[in-house]
Homo-oligomer: A and B are copies of this chain.
Amino acid sequence: MKQTKQGDIAVTMLAMGLSARVAANALAHLDANQKSAALHAAADAIRAAAPQILAANVKDMQSARERGLAAARLDRLMLDEGRIEAMASGVDEVADLPDPIGEVDQNWTPANGLDISRVRTPLGVIGMVYESRPNVTADAGAICVKAGNAVILRGGADGFFSSMAIAKAFRAGLAAKGVPENAIQLVPDTDRAAVGAMLGGLDGNIDLIIPRGGKNLIARVQAEARVPVLSHLEGLCHVYVHKDADADMARAIALNAKMRRTGICGSAETLLIDRDCAENLLPKIAADLRAAGCELRGDEAARALVPDMKAATEEDWATEYLDAILSVRVVDDLQAAMAHIANYGSAHTDCIVTNNAQAATRFLNGVDSAIVLHNASTQYADGGEFGFGAEIGIATGKLHARGPVGAAQLTSYHYVVRGDGHIRP
C-alpha cells in the first residue's frame, strides 16, 4: 500500500525515536574518555569534510538568495573555512569539559545509617528544534553527547544541506570511535509535520525538547509540546540605575548592556532610572547611547530631561526590540523598578547598578528572573561566560534547569544507597 507523504514522515520520525533510544541506552554506559575521544573525532571529521560542507552551504545560500532572505539571515546561514574551524573547535572544547555523568553532587548519611549519594545520570533523548544557524547542529550534538544523551536534530529549511553535511561528518567521527552514530540524527525532511511528531514525543522516545529560534517557533513548541520543554520565549532584560549608582559605572553598563550586541537575548531593552539621579545622569547615558546609534523612547519624565526623545507607549515596555532601540523610564524608587520588572519582564536577565549593598540585596532576592546581576552588564547572560563551556540555550521556566543550559543541565540524577544488610524496622 502506498503511503501518503504525511504517513512517511510519521513512520520516519517514530523510527528515529527508537534508534535514538537505543543509542541513548548505549551512551549512558560509556565512560568519560570514550565520549571525549569520540567528540574529538567528530571535530576532526568536520574539519576533514570542510569541502563537502562548503559545497552544501553554497546550495543553501543559493536557494536562500532566490527566496530573497534578508541580509542578517543570509549571514547567519553562511559558512566559510573560518566558521567551519570555529565549529570544530567548539566541539573540541566540549570534548575537553569535565564529564558530568557519574558526578556525586551530594552525599550524606541519615539517621538510619545508610550511605546515600546523589549521582548524575543522562536524561535520555533530547529533541532539538532550531532555525537558521547550521553550527547549532554541531554545538547541540556535542553538548548532548557529552552528557550521555542522544539527540534528534530538526534544523530549519534554510540550512538543510549544510546541516546534513555537518551531521554526516559528526556521525562518522563518533562511529570511528565505536560510539553509536545514532547518538546524533538529523531529521531528513523540512516538513513541519516532523516538528509536530517530535512535539508529540515519538511514543515516549523524546524526554525533553529544546527549541532555539524566533518567537513564533518557541511559542509553537511551548503551546504544542506534550513533553517537557526548556526554552525562553524572549529576553526582555532591564538595567535599573539606582540612585546610589556610580555614575561612570552606570553609563558603561547601560551602553554595554544595550549596544555590545543588540540581537542577543541578553541585550537590555529597557532602562529604568531613579528620579533622584535621573536629572544628572540620564542625559549622559542618553548621549552615550545615541552616539553609538541607539534610538531612545522615553516616558514623560525621561523626555523632560533628554531632548527629542520619542514617547514610549505601553507596548514599548513589553517589546523585545533585538535592535538598537531602548525604552527609558524614570521610576520613584527600587520598589517601583521591581514592580515594573515583575509586570513587563520576561524572567530572563535583569540588572541593578548601585553602590548600596542593601538595595542590591533587595533587588537580587526580589526579582524573580533566571539571572539577576549587580553591577554587571546583562550581556553576561551566556553559558560560556558562566564557565559552562558551551550552551544549548537559556531557560526561563522554573522546572529542571533555569538560565544557561549546558551539558551539566542536560542531566538527571539518581540515588545510590549503600547499606550493610539494612532492613527497615
**B380:A422 contact, CB within 8 angstroms:** yes
Tally chain A residues at the interface, Cβ within 8 Å: 61
**B387:A110 contact, CB within 8 angstroms:** yes
- Judged by a CB distance under 8 angstroms, whether A37 is at the interface is no
By beta carbon, the residue of chain B nearest A112 is: B385
9 more CB-based (< 8 A) A-B contacts, given A102-B365, A369-B414, A370-B414: A112-B380, A121-B368, A123-B399, A260-B423, A374-B416, A374-B419, A399-B412, A400-B400, A403-B414
By beta carbon, the residue of chain B nearest A252 is: B423
Known A-B contacts A260-B424, A375-B421, A421-B253; A398 and B386 likewise in contact (beta carbons under 8 Å): no
- Judged by a CB distance under 8 angstroms, whether A308 is at the interface is no
> Can you pick out 6 interface pairs between chain A and chain B where the beta carbons lie within 8 Å of each other?
A207-B398, A252-B423, A373-B419, A375-B421, A379-B423, A399-B400
Residues of B contacting A376 in the complex (Cβ-Cβ under 8 angstroms): 114, 417-423
**Chain B proximity mask over A204-234: 1 for CB below 8 Å, otherwise 0:** 0001100000000000000000001000000
**A124:B377 contact, CB within 8 angstroms:** no
Known A-B contacts A110-B386, A114-B376, A370-B414; A123 and B398 likewise in contact (beta carbons under 8 Å): yes
- Judged by a CB distance under 8 angstroms, whether A1 is at the interface is no
By beta carbon, the residue of chain B nearest A249 is: B421
Residues of B contacting A371 in the complex (Cβ-Cβ under 8 angstroms): 414-415, 417
**B419:A379 contact, CB within 8 angstroms:** no
Interface centre among A29, A111, A415, A420, by most B CB within 10 Å?
A: A415
